[in-house]
Structure 1
Amino acid sequence: MKKDMKKDERKKKRGIHTGVNGAIIASIIAFLLTITIGGTVLLSIGKKKNLDILSDDGYDTQSVEETKITRLPLLGNIVGDSADNAEISRSANETTGNSSRVPGATKIDADELGGKSTTDLGLSHKNTADGTDLSNDDADIAKADNKDGESKADRSDGEVNGSESEDLNQGDNQDLNNDGSDQNDVAASEINESSGETAISGGNWEYSITPANSEYVSLAFAGDILFDPGYAIMNKIRQNGGGIDGVIGGSLLSYMRNADIMVVNNEFPYSYGGTPTEGKTFTFRAEPSSAVLLNQMGVDVATLANNHAYDYGQTALLDTLTTLDNVGVARIGAGANLDEASRPVYYNADNGIKIAIIAATEIERLDNPDTKGATDSSPGVFRCLDITKLVSRIKEAKSKGAYVIVCIHWGTESKEEIDWWQQKQAPEIADAGADLIVGAHPHILQKIGYVNGVPVVYSLGNFLFSSKELETGLLRVNIYKDGKTGLQFIPAMQSGCTVSEATGEKKTAILNHMRAMSSGVSIDDDGNVN
């Protein structure tokens, strides 16, 4: 009996130990599961919030939201005093035709801007020259100050409505819709729903001008500009009291304002409306009131054939057309339909010279690009990856006796080397009858050359686009009555959200750089190209 009792007691003890051990094991398993699940959750959150950004030199320590990274971003927000000194990473992925672009623009946090707009800081219409003497002694290049105070071109196809332009310049927002867009702008952007077509807008396509010199027409070309209020350039302009003087150096402004025709690459839309392109890393949009800065710069023509004019969609693009019309700036390379987007703007000088300027883009070398190409019935930019329509427009302008200039968006960003598409299309454009080709998009300077006797300035780079110190320049062109072309490259430096003519050692260095790139071309110490 005692033996049986002892056996029962041992069985009970074993049962107790077994139960305790089971509980301990279960607790350990539960703990391990908790750690595993928690670690997985934390890791996924960490991946969502923090992604390493690949730069040319390896991995940066910046972090960006995953929702913004469908293409490789190389640009971060700049906070506080570091804005003017920000270094921007670069990428060469454009060689594959990827529409991801690395604009080199320095982003400013909204808090740093203090909520101020260009209107708050009193942007004013200012067209007159600043009186700075031209540094070039060549009488054929130097021009007298333009005195008209309104526009350098006498418009043969209708005048700008002064009251509408004044309202736009003052940024009157009393008629804003709930989404912040101007009712007038929206009305101008309406689509004819019954026909499914967009009516051609009211741009001017032909101008009569009186050149400063009876022997030639003078032009000036600048590279990329950016007036998006969320980026560093506009922050600098605000700090400057809302004006362009001092942001662009005095001698450069004199060249620009005194040219008979001044052309700039407008790398963004002007609108309060639209929606940023889904999945596109960098989308730009400027307030319509900032378009008066073009007047202050002396701009006559804004090229819109680029991969940012459509950043906020169809509505913003159409608003851009209206905005530029309202400030008296001709716009080329985008339109309400393909006929408008591909139209040249013509200048008829009273010395007998006729000039046609056409803008087109081959960038976003994809079947379905973010930047929509205009069609017969829908708005967009003038795309020329298929060069057929561009060739047709060049021949059409040539048949009218015009000196034909083609402004083309091409090349690979941040690469000095001319890419395959540039090598292919330059001779096609020249052989179609173009007399001068001026390129943009790489955001840096590229070479100057001649293709089948036609001068080609492959890229003028950024002009007023970011805080980064960067070599740039202004191209001055004289078109003579005998059809000859005079070219002068004015070296300049973009730095700290300003751009100024380069002097001394900087000037020499930039000219030497251009000479090194431009084999077979002579560039003298004044920048004259032969």
Structure 2
Amino acid sequence: MIKIACVGDVMPASVHHGKKDNYIKSDVLEFLKSFDIRVATLECAIGDKPSFDPEKMVRKQDIVYAPTSDLYRVKEMGIDVVSLANNHAFDLGEEGLINTCKQLDKLGIKYCGAGLNSEEASCPAVVTFAGVSIAFLAFCDWRMDTVGYVPFATKNKAGMNEMREKNIKESIEKNKSQYDHLFIFLHWGVEYSYFPTPSMTTLADKILNWGADGIIGGHTHRIQPLISSHNKFIYFSLGNFFFPDRYINKPRPTYYPSEGEDLSNCPYSYGWPYVSILY
């Protein structure tokens, strides 16, 4: 039996920046250690000299980023795989995406869902445990009313892996036979909603019929229902795991406290991991 902890959105900085201890409860970390594999959505760009994506700034959309020095927390949580297919991984532009991938490589954290071209963005993240290969693909919704402006990867352009049915189906068909298990990250849904839309349930059903072993959803910042069918699961949205979204100064970049600011009564934002067990 392989135990996989599927947790929600992670953004390791903001009001946590500079905190070496007590940024997350020790019992949560111990609980995560009890699993064989841990996966999450890294919903931010990583960079030390922020150059905000000009297109998002013009559109007055939120910018979510974390300094490189805070990324260690993702490793400390034991996260093995992250999805980058989301509406914030490109918030520091192509340079930020390159740095994000570079820093994840340094920490030995595998990633999927974004890249310097469509080939890279569509590559799976693969983990092998006890001789069992487990692959993860990640896709970001393309609709403006869902995720806002998101640059999507093409043959010669960096960006996210696009959540088009044709793209998902072809990716599943290409990778299904190569690995023992194949799971799909989807960044979709209506923010701050507790229920999936009809289009989400329809697409989820198709994805399982195409051969995926399960769906790990995110973006809504709310926990949405879990559906289990034929020993396959659909997490429509896992909500926040470690994501202080209340500290985004809409429609401006993530809030970072000034030096010496009293944060003793500052409410942080992290949740509890959902769990999937593979047999």
Query: Shared fold by TM > 0.5?
Result: yes
Are positions 1:475 and 2:274 aligned together?
yes
Query: Which structure's CA Rg is the greater one?
Result: 1
Q: Percent identity?
A: 27
**Matching of residues 30-429 of structure 1 within 5 Å:** 216-228=1-13, 231-234=14-17, 238=18, 241-243=19-21, 246-271=22-47, 272-276=49-53, 277-278=56-57, 279-350=59-130, 352-362=131-141, 364-365=143-144, 370-384=149-163, 386-429=164-207
- Partner residue in 2 for 1:440: 218
Distance of aligned partners of 1:220 and 1:285 in 2 relative to their CA distance in 1, 3 Å threshold? same
Judge conservation of contact 1:225–1:267 (CA < 8 Å) in 2: yes
Distance of aligned partners of 1:255 and 1:395 in 2 relative to their CA distance in 1, 3 Å threshold? farther
Q: What SS does structure 1 have at the residue aligned with 2:272? A: strand
Distance of aligned partners of 1:401 and 1:329 in 2 relative to their CA distance in 1, 3 Å threshold? closer
Judge conservation of contact 2:242–2:269 (CA < 8 Å) in 1: no
Distance of aligned partners of 1:416 and 1:280 in 2 relative to their CA distance in 1, 3 Å threshold? same
Q: What SS does structure 2 have at the residue aligned with 1:473? A: coil
Q: What SS does structure 1 have at the residue aligned with 2:85? A: coil
Distance of aligned partners of 1:400 and 1:311 in 2 relative to their CA distance in 1, 3 Å threshold? same
Please tell me the residue identity of whatever aligns with 2:100: T
Higher relative contact order (CA 8 A, sep 6+): 2
Distance of aligned partners of 1:222 and 1:247 in 2 relative to their CA distance in 1, 3 Å threshold? same
Shift of 1:422: 0.7
Please tell me the residue identity of whatever aligns with 1:221: C
Judge conservation of contact 2:28–2:272 (CA < 8 Å) in 1: no
Distance 1:265 1:441 in 2: 9
Distance 2:31 2:136 in 1: 19
Judge conservation of contact 1:460–1:473 (CA < 8 Å) in 2: no
Distance of aligned partners of 1:461 and 1:440 in 2 relative to their CA distance in 1, 3 Å threshold? same
Shift of 1:331: 1.2
- Partner residue in 2 for 1:213: none
Shift of 1:471: 8.8
Q: CA offsets per residue over residues 399-422 of structure 1, 9 Å max, x none?
A: 124211111111111111211331
Distance 1:264 1:472 in 2: 12
For structure 2, list consecutive stretches of 5 or more residues without a partner in the other structure.
247-266
Judge conservation of contact 1:300–1:329 (CA < 8 Å) in 2: yes
Please tell me the residue identity of whatever aligns with 1:224: D
Shift of 1:424: 2.3
Please tell me the residue identity of whatever aligns with 2:222: I
Distance 2:44 2:31 in 1: 24
Shift of 1:450: 2.9
Judge conservation of contact 1:427–1:451 (CA < 8 Å) in 2: no
When the two chains are superposed, the root-mean-square deviation of aligned CA atoms in Å is 2.3
Distance of aligned partners of 1:363 and 1:224 in 2 relative to their CA distance in 1, 3 Å threshold? farther
Distance 1:427 1:474 in 2: 24
Q: What SS does structure 2 have at the residue aligned with 1:281? A: coil
Q: What SS does structure 2 have at the residue aligned with 1:265? A: strand
Aligned residues: 254
TM (normalized to structure 2)? 0.83
Judge conservation of contact 1:220–1:255 (CA < 8 Å) in 2: no
Distance 2:231 2:128 in 1: 24
Distance 2:118 2:78 in 1: 28
Please tell me the residue identity of whatever aligns with 1:373: F
TM (normalized to structure 1)? 0.45
Q: CA offsets per residue over residues 79-121 of structure 1, 9 Å max, x none?
A: xxxxxxxxxxxxxxxxxxxxxxxxxxxxxxxxxxxxxxxxxxx
Judge conservation of contact 2:87–2:150 (CA < 8 Å) in 1: yes
Distance of aligned partners of 1:275 and 1:434 in 2 relative to their CA distance in 1, 3 Å threshold? same
For structure 1, list consecutive stretches of 5 or more residues without a partner in the other structure.
1-215, 481-530
Distance of aligned partners of 1:369 and 1:249 in 2 relative to their CA distance in 1, 3 Å threshold? closer
Distance of aligned partners of 1:324 and 1:469 in 2 relative to their CA distance in 1, 3 Å threshold? closer
Distance of aligned partners of 1:373 and 1:328 in 2 relative to their CA distance in 1, 3 Å threshold? same
Shift of 1:370: 2.2
Distance 1:452 1:415 in 2: 27
Please tell me the residue identity of whatever aligns with 1:316: G
Please tell me the residue identity of whatever aligns with 2:182: V
Pick from 195, 199, 208: which aligns with 1:430? Answer: 208
Judge conservation of contact 2:184–2:215 (CA < 8 Å) in 1: yes
Judge conservation of contact 1:360–1:382 (CA < 8 Å) in 2: yes
Shift of 1:316: 1.0
Distance 2:206 2:230 in 1: 10
Q: CA offsets per residue over residues 303-328 of structure 1, 9 Å max, x none?
A: 11111111121111111111111111
Distance 1:363 1:389 in 2: 12
Judge conservation of contact 1:273–1:315 (CA < 8 Å) in 2: no
